[in-house]
Amino acid sequence: MYYIIRNNQQFGPYSIDVLAAYVENGKILRQDRAFLVSNPQLIQAVGYFLKSNNKKVKIKHQGSVKQQLKDIGRELIIPNDVFSRKAFMKDNRLLWLALIGLAPAFLIGFFSAIPVITFYVISLYFSVIWGLFFFYLFKTPQISTKKTIFLFFALQILVFVVWDILHLPAFPGISILYGFTRSENILLQVIGFIFGVGLLEELAKALPLLLIARRAKEPYIPQSLVFYGLMSGIAFGVFEGVQYQMTTNTELDYANAFFMNVARLTSLPFLHAIWAGMAGYFIAFASLYPKYRRSLYLLAILIPATLHGLYDVLGWSVLGLLLTLLSVVLLMSYLKQGVSYQSKLSR
């Protein structure tokens, strides 16, 4: 005699013949767990005991396919509440799945006639996903949704004015540093990318953070300004990504263009976010301990600019990829030691 276990419930006991008959009728499954009354320690699938007793079982069909579909009924295929707004809104998982999974298709469908807008709205889609991810990891009571949205779009306006209208990289002095980035001399490249490209871009991303910190009604803890830094970096990455997709990437072959377009939507905005998050960390410390603010402001710009510049030199090489990993590890280490470091500066 055998007991059947399904969903932590026990049924039986059944003889092997009854067990075989139930399997044929679909009332018991071969995968259900079972054990002998005389040996409860040996728990195996029903199929194991059928085989050990030389019971060959063939599961019966419930009529023709047409009859089976009739018995199954329409409700299994099209539930009665499938078009019910109340049922859809009640299960938020479906709503999130729809927003995340279908948004790109709808955005492309509505904006495909204007490529620059298409690139931008798709970039915004990825930005929202990054933003939700960062909020989940770094949320604090000090974070404001309104301030986050304002920061995101204000920074892009700033970048548009500085890069596209004022053409700051073409200014005397700055243009020399940018020119170094095209040199065949690796040392000049490093200088150009760190003190030209890196310094200018990281300063642009840090300016809104300085403004937020200075206008704060209460001192921000480091994690709060790290979050705003991450969002500042994402905003910069989105704007830069759209520009590259409309210009540089169009000159690449299909494979490289595809790779760089994906990178401009995912990894590269993430890297900009990590570097700007570091700036937020040190700016928060500068606000909390103003007597050290000069050094902390310097670190807020110099560390991200150095990592940024070295990455631009190394690119997607092994060393370049290791540098990106180092950037992430550094930011996480900063946050981990934040409390202990605050006690050191407060002495």
Question: Tens of pLDDT along 125-142?
Answer: 889 889 989 999 999 999
Fold of 2-60: Dna Ligase; domain 1 (3.30.1490)
pLDDT band at 7 (very low <50, low <70, confident <90, very high): confident
Does residue 231 register a pLDDT over 70?
yes
Q: List pLDDT tens digits, range 313-346.
A: 999 899 999 999 999 999 999 998 877 777 777 6
Average pLDDT estimate for 151-161: 93
Average pLDDT estimate for 42-49: 91
Does residue 111 register a pLDDT over 80?
no
Q: What is the pLDDT of residue 269?
A: 93
Mean residue pLDDT across the chain: 88
Q: What is the pLDDT of residue 262?
A: 86
Q: What is the pLDDT of residue 92?
A: 67
For residues 250-265, one letter each, b for 16 or more C-beta atoms within 10 angstroms of the residue's C-beta and e for the rest, the string is eeeeeeeeeebbebbb
Q: List pLDDT tens digits, range 80-105.
A: 766 666 666 666 676 777 777 788 78
Domain boundaries, the chain: 2-60, 98-345
